[in-house]
């Protein structure tokens, strides 16, 4: 899903809100998360996940063509760890599949 699709979905679920207002809210929320991460803060959204910044320290790499050593600078990159509830929802089994497994584990069919 891309940002415009997210905005349209939220607008469909909240017909009393204007789409332009929803877009502003989504942009503000995302900008706030990015600003916090730029400061080095960790952003935790309960039941969703945690955004943080990881750092790769400076190191010496190699030019793949020539094999010469190349200095690679320190880089920061975003990291996301899904929350427990998100993991549960993503791995939820359909009711029919769960019932079949229950029957199989009891030895009766």
Give the domain extent around 33: 1-41
pLDDT at 107 over 80: no
Q: Could you tell me if residue 49 is left (phi over 0), alpha (psi between -120 and 50 degrees) or otherwise beta?
A: left
Same domain (yes/no): 92, 68: yes
Contact assessment for residue 58 and residue 71, using Cβ atoms and an 8 Å cutoff: yes
Output the pLDDT for position 104. 53
Same domain, yes or no: 37 and 50:
no
Report yes or no: 71 and 60 within 8 Å, Cβ to Cβ. yes
CA 107 to chain centre: 40
Report the number of distinct structural domains present in the chain.
Answer: 2
Q: Are residues 22 and 75 in the same domain?
A: no
Q: What is the pLDDT of residue 94?
A: 75
**Do 48 and 101 belong together in one domain?**
yes
CA-CA-CA-CA torsion sign (81, 84, 86, 92): positive
Q: Could you tell me if 72 and 85 lie in one domain?
A: yes
């Amino acid at each position: 899903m891309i940002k415009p699709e997210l905005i349209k979905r939220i607008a469909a679920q909240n017909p009393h809100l204007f789409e332009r207002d929803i877009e502003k809210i989504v942009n503000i929320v995302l900008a706030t998360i990015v600003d916090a991460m730029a400061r080095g803060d960790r952003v935790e959204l309960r039941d969703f996940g945690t955004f943080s910044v990881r750092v790769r320290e400076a190191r010496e790499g190699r030019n793949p063509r020539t094999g010469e050593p190349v200095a690679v600078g320190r880089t920061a990159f975003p990291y996301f760890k899904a929350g427990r509830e998100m993991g549960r929802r993503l791995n939820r089994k359909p009711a029919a599949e769960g019932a079949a497994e229950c029957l199989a584990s009891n030895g009766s069919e």
